[in-house]
Structure 1
């Protein structure tokens, strides 16, 4: 053959050792192939010495771990939540439990040690991982693709644990996934890592929220030491301020221990944490700091979400409508970003909330824009309340927010409007207080007027009276005499509707002041309304003739005014006065006439007052010993009021119908009415529940 031989290998890809030559001799006992040695890394940080709660989370983790043997790919777990919620501690506690099942070792990396604005790239972490697995720097393949392949080879033999802490983006994760299907990868992040879930559908995603009170107490005691735990009242105050935020609880507990060690009373911590102006400062010790963690969150946000974050700090409470957040942002994207970053968390259908410490921080960093943000918030609440008020009633109101027609209602009916506004009840009161405190007085008194229908139907008298008192102060500071008259009228109406022992006298004083101011201003509608209120008080005090005279004067005040609803109401009240004065036939005629007037109001009928007119007609016929004429009116009243969102009045009518049915020997039907009345009274928080219970025995 000669020496002129072509020496080449062509075609295909060859793995492993390839020997090529003209004359080869292979002696196994002389040749030794050096296998690549893989080290077993032990990078996992120590198991936390103090760890509480998270039982539901661990139950999910254990279920996932139990199915590892059947997997064809590594188990990926994403633990998400706000910084300081204990994601890393939870990951470490669980991974330490799994160590004996993963002989390949443990790898761990902080993926954003310099903050979310400067996340580590996966390549630099991959280099470190490969080195820990036994490959020297001078042996590493060049280029990321080759290094990833090498990493997969190194991690294919035995299962190992990988903790990727504080991941900012999915691109940081993919190159670091090991090859062995028995491996476990835990990723912690503020964000939900949706793209990672899309690539790995079997990924387990768990969100860590606040600790409950029991777990917070356990954590506080463990960190502070039993001797440093303050008295029960102070401890409750401290834990309430921390809101179950694990980082805050740890810092507060450490500070309590420090105070005790210095001979001071740890209960003093409660005063610092009880005031939102000093709360965040009290939760910072050296490099462990709640405000520092939250500031990092704020600084990592893009301009739009960051501006929204600061604006929400102007809201007086940390829980609000998602629609408000969208309106404040001007788009839905920024709101979604805050939810994705765990700055906002779901709080029921259409609702979101901030943790109270996050809200404190948002308030602090948004102080410079607080008043501008507050104006936008107030405008939303005012128009929202006005929309509810329009859905509930067509009564006349004073104020620029009601100066133009409302257009198509945002709600199908009054009940829907009232239910929609229910979650914002406390917020509406707080916003009225904020409007007054900021000197937005026109907004404050208009809010008081706009909230009347909601409070009247739902009977939240304490909130209603507080709002009206704020409205009265605000109207006085505006110097608007008619607004002051209206606020006296609204405050009188609220007191009269509550009807406690002192309310009648208080209501009478405000009605008389409203009458005086309205007469001086020449405002016939408010004058008529104040006279109507005085008539209702006289009727309640057993003076039907005085009441009737007030109602007649109120009718005369409307001369020349197109006010069909006012005339319908006064006809209704006059019918009640005649019934109380035993003028039964006149009463029946007036009450049925009032019912027709309510049904024929321009625009839409007033079903609520139709039902009330029929109810009082039934009562008048019962006084006249005509129960046969009373039952049809009660039946119709029950039907009409069902969709009005007025549980107290609905219960009143059902109670009376039940009484009438009982006298007719229809006990089962009567008890059904009484049971429904009891449920509605309880819903409305009415003292009338006692009467319903007595009837049911």
Structure 2
């Protein structure tokens, strides 16, 4: 069995939540933990933020420790889903994404997916006229249900999801019963309809089907009585009259002509054909024309289940909307907005018995000929049965007539490719019962603010959805035969539906081409859009992007081009301002224009992402429209911004660090300054991944001095927080850049950083080599502060190697160097490290003396970081002397200081020491609380030490949980 098959597991959502791996049922834990798993499963591979999980399980009144409890649940689920995963290996199934979690959908085989597949196949069979086969599939789909979905799981979000799932089951049941009525099986389905109506007395569609079954069985009086009782319930419970379809059916019963027996159930129930659309032509009840204008659905539609569910959830579960509903689907060019909306509209059209309207407003048409609202109104009015000569001239008069014609009717209206809110507003109905869906590349915030539109931003497809799209276009066998090549195509197309469709069309036209060859062609053109040039302007990615780009203001277009120079993965307001060379206040408006045009995505507040293919397009525009001097000036501002901001942050974290001479700063680079350590740590934490890229980016573009100086500034923070693999990459680049710049000091600092990272990662030989090389360079340059820094690194390495006397010798030399320079802060730091060395050799009383000296220096200097580190060491010495209450006091002081500074990694380390001290006193509750808090901090930072803390927590629950660890 391959690794992927071993990773996958089966789940049941259509009843009590259960899970199996290789036929063995998994113990999913307490109800709230099961609810976390259910919410992750229902999101199908997309991230669920921590806030969403808290709200979803506890609602508006979560407990104080809700986040810690959630992290514990996630930790347990990871162990359950990947029992054999090594402790030092990152989770593969339940992964951290942003500030939340995601469960890989390709590893899950669920009864919900099976249900949806059967319903979808039944719809396809029905469209082909194979009604009996469709009924069989729908019966199989219903057999998957084992009662109420998600039984026994708590939380408001679970309750909402339960309602959505039950609605899907009822919709499938109604479809199957409708087909069976059309097949003349009214006698057989009547008992089932009677039971369903009793369970859902306000559901009009079920009532209509029951009335048809009764009438066709010769029971007209009972059918009339069912209508009367349903109407009375609707009036009494909801305050509404039955909808037009049920009223029309009642009128047929009263007339007692051919009545419901003469027409298929789909017509009586107000439903269309298999696709949900009905042909224009004969008027409906009362002589009203029922338009059916939806474009053809895409047979090979794939993915977007979460978005489809989101849109479906806007429709009320019972009855009909009392106000016009408005949905807004926005997103970048090529994201598949129209395809999604048309597909959804075909699925939902049966909910709108008075028909469907569609218009392409040409808001981003290459010709620039956007449709005037009056033209759209004229088309709609004619489709609704108004004679052309009766349509007034003015926009206001046309809109008033349109709203009047729609009064009392239930239509689905699709306004595709809108340019702005003003183009859409005249086309909105005023009467309840209609649903309008607008698509646009722009966000149309006016529709949200003034008309309460429900926004849905369409991003790229997931990897699984992208592979599904390829399989639908090329056949599953061809994709399964070359899975690696298929995945490569998906990533090279950046999971953009338009790009995937273009490549799939090329592959479909050449069935003899290997997917590996197509992937190789894409790699050759990676970084350009040449591979995505279609046969016409509508299927050429470059052309499609250009329609949005050409509509930008000159300033926004210039910023769009500049963003291609940023290494990513995301960009902030401040970095964008530096690239553009404009004030931050001005750049905010430009970023808003770009996000409004869907050329940029705001991934989190103030953090923006440029899609890979849009980045390639922006780079092409930069090359075509900007000269090398403009690009060079923008890059200099960008790298100066990060260099000076990183040094400002490092100085805020360590005010006593050695100041380094920096190159001149361009006036428009606008580096950030920080009022305190917490602000600096927050910036470094949020910019971590950008900073990791910016050093390599500076080196690659020839800004070598910026590269090594930026790395030198980052060393303090990345080392304190334990990002040592990042440091290896950053300092390795810095060393190459320092050599290219001819800077011996730069090489020495980079070598010292490499030595420290290798020491932490337990690579003693590499660490020693780098540190000795750094010491030689610092000595040659007569640089005592650098020499002291290296001696501290060598001492740490000696301690790790079990050579404490060598460590004390190095520390003694470092103290001499610091005293020669009058550096009291450096001396205090070394005294703390000397104390730790004494603890290692069980000379705890000496450790106490050195700690007291160091703390006095730190308090005199006002150095909270130095004091926090030393209070932790002092607590550890007291712990080993079994003076536990005093140790706890020192650990708590250290933890508070690290928390105020914002150093989460070292705070977690102190919390682990605090947990051990509480455990030694027998207070297991306090120990568990401290370790739980430490685990939450480590999981947030993605540190492998989290597994060690999980083991410690597990030990607390074991038979020896009360035993204190040995020193």
Q: TM-score range by the shorter chain?
A: 0.7 to 0.9
The alignment status of 1:524 with 2:804, answered yes or no, reads no
User: What are the within-5 Å matches in structure 2 for residues 580-591 of structure 1?
Assistant: 585-591=845-851
Q: Which moved more, 1:368-377 or 1:559-568?
A: 368-377
User: What are the within-5 Å matches in structure 2 for residues 534-553 of structure 1?
Assistant: 534-553=794-813
Displacement after TM superposition at 1:234 (Å): 1.6
User: What are the within-5 Å matches in structure 2 for residues 588-627 of structure 1?
Assistant: 588-601=848-861, 604-605=862-863, 607-620=864-877
Q: 1:129 to 1:408 in 2, by over 3 A?
A: closer
Q: Deviations over 1:20-78 (max 9, x none)?
A: xxxxxxxxxxxxxxxxx998765442232232344444445445555998667754443
Higher relative contact order (CA 8 A, sep 6+): 1
Residue equivalent to 1:277 = 526
Aligned length: 650
Q: Which moved more, 1:229-238 or 1:577-586?
A: 577-586
Displacement after TM superposition at 1:444 (Å): 0.4
Residue equivalent to 1:26 = none
**Separation (CA, whole Å) in 2 of partners of 1:694 and 1:466:** 35
Is the 8 Å Cα contact of residues 323 and 350 (structure 1) preserved in structure 2?
A: no
Q: 1:616 to 1:250 in 2, by over 3 A?
A: same
Q: 1:579 to 1:284 in 2, by over 3 A?
A: same
The alignment status of 1:170 with 2:417, answered yes or no, reads no
Give the secondary structure class of the aligned counterpart of 1:451.
helix
**Separation (CA, whole Å) in 2 of partners of 1:474 and 1:132:** 69
2:297 to 34, 44, 47: 47
1:80 to 320, 326, 330: 330
The alignment status of 1:211 with 2:470, answered yes or no, reads no
User: What are the within-5 Å matches in structure 2 for residues 343-362 of structure 1?
Assistant: 343-362=599-618
1:373 to 622, 634, 644: 634
Q: Which moved more, 1:191-200 or 1:434-443?
A: 191-200
**Separation (CA, whole Å) in 1 of partners of 2:888 and 2:320:** 71
Give the secondary structure class of the aligned counterpart of 1:533.
helix
The alignment status of 1:240 with 2:491, answered yes or no, reads yes
Is the 8 Å Cα contact of residues 658 and 671 (structure 1) preserved in structure 2?
A: yes
* TM-score where L is the length of structure 1: 0.81
Residue equivalent to 2:677 = 413
Q: Deviations over 1:95-147 (max 9, x none)?
A: 44427845466352343474385423334444555666677877765555555
Q: 1:582 to 1:149 in 2, by over 3 A?
A: closer
**Separation (CA, whole Å) in 1 of partners of 2:886 and 2:355:** 88
**Separation (CA, whole Å) in 1 of partners of 2:723 and 2:808:** 29
Residue equivalent to 1:264 = 513
Residue equivalent to 1:4 = none
Displacement after TM superposition at 1:305 (Å): 1.4
Q: Deviations over 1:443-498 (max 9, x none)?
A: 101111111122112211111111011111111111122222222222222222x1
Is the 8 Å Cα contact of residues 111 and 164 (structure 1) preserved in structure 2?
A: no
Displacement after TM superposition at 1:519 (Å): 1.9
**Separation (CA, whole Å) in 1 of partners of 2:289 and 2:886:** 95
Displacement after TM superposition at 1:303 (Å): 1.1
Residue equivalent to 1:252 = 503
The alignment status of 1:221 with 2:444, answered yes or no, reads no
The alignment status of 1:685 with 2:944, answered yes or no, reads yes
Q: 1:149 to 1:572 in 2, by over 3 A?
A: closer
Displacement after TM superposition at 1:373 (Å): 3.3
Q: Deviations over 1:367-389 (max 9, x none)?
A: 44554433333233323322332
Give the secondary structure class of the aligned counterpart of 2:295.
coil
Is the 8 Å Cα contact of residues 365 and 547 (structure 2) preserved in structure 1?
A: no
Give the secondary structure class of the aligned counterpart of 2:687.
helix
1:512 to 767, 772, 775: 772
The alignment status of 1:312 with 2:573, answered yes or no, reads no
Displacement after TM superposition at 1:428 (Å): 1.0
**Separation (CA, whole Å) in 2 of partners of 1:670 and 1:219:** 51
Displacement after TM superposition at 1:402 (Å): 10
**Separation (CA, whole Å) in 2 of partners of 1:626 and 1:158:** 80
User: What are the within-5 Å matches in structure 2 for residues 99-178 of structure 1?
Assistant: 101=352, 103=354, 106-112=357-363, 114-115=365-366, 117-126=368-377, 141-142=392-393, 144=395, 162-177=413-428
Displacement after TM superposition at 1:217 (Å): 2.4
User: What are the within-5 Å matches in structure 2 for residues 281-680 of structure 1?
Assistant: 281-287=530-536, 288-326=539-577, 328-329=579-580, 330=582, 331=586, 332-367=588-623, 368=626, 370-401=631-662, 410=674, 412-414=676-678, 417-496=680-759, 498-500=760-762, 502=763, 504-577=764-837, 585-601=845-861, 604-605=862-863, 607-620=864-877, 633-660=890-917, 662-664=919-921, 666=923, 669-670=926-927, 672-674=929-931, 676-677=933-934
1:231 to 464, 482, 489: 482
Q: Deviations over 1:382-408 (max 9, x none)?
A: 23322332232224235345999x999
Q: 1:469 to 1:99 in 2, by over 3 A?
A: same
Q: Which moved more, 1:471-480 or 1:128-137?
A: 128-137
**Separation (CA, whole Å) in 2 of partners of 1:197 and 1:691:** 49
Q: 1:199 to 1:350 in 2, by over 3 A?
A: closer
Displacement after TM superposition at 1:432 (Å): 0.7
Q: 1:529 to 1:145 in 2, by over 3 A?
A: closer
Root mean square deviation of aligned Cα = 3.8
Is the 8 Å Cα contact of residues 328 and 437 (structure 2) preserved in structure 1?
A: yes
Q: Which moved more, 1:78-87 or 1:464-473?
A: 78-87
Q: 1:363 to 1:402 in 2, by over 3 A?
A: closer
Q: Deviations over 1:513-564 (max 9, x none)?
A: 2222222222221122222322333333333333333333333334542311
Is the 8 Å Cα contact of residues 318 and 359 (structure 1) preserved in structure 2?
A: no
Q: 1:390 to 1:159 in 2, by over 3 A?
A: same
Q: Deviations over 1:572-616 (max 9, x none)?
A: 334445555666554432221012112211xx32x3332333343
Give the secondary structure class of the aligned counterpart of 1:211.
coil
Displacement after TM superposition at 1:341 (Å): 1.6
Is the 8 Å Cα contact of residues 398 and 483 (structure 1) preserved in structure 2?
A: no
Q: 1:275 to 1:298 in 2, by over 3 A?
A: farther
Q: 1:336 to 1:133 in 2, by over 3 A?
A: same
Displacement after TM superposition at 1:79 (Å): 2.5
Is the 8 Å Cα contact of residues 655 and 692 (structure 1) preserved in structure 2?
A: no
Give the secondary structure class of the aligned counterpart of 2:809.
helix
Is the 8 Å Cα contact of residues 884 and 920 (structure 2) preserved in structure 1?
A: no
Displacement after TM superposition at 1:431 (Å): 0.9
Is the 8 Å Cα contact of residues 789 and 814 (structure 2) preserved in structure 1?
A: yes
Ranges in structure 1 where 5+ consecutive residues have no aligned partner: 1-36
Displacement after TM superposition at 1:189 (Å): 1.2
Q: Which moved more, 1:507-516 or 1:423-432?
A: 507-516
Is the 8 Å Cα contact of residues 38 and 135 (structure 1) preserved in structure 2?
A: no
Displacement after TM superposition at 1:254 (Å): 1.9
**Separation (CA, whole Å) in 2 of partners of 1:630 and 1:585:** 14
**Separation (CA, whole Å) in 2 of partners of 1:79 and 1:136:** 32
Give the secondary structure class of the aligned counterpart of 1:554.
helix
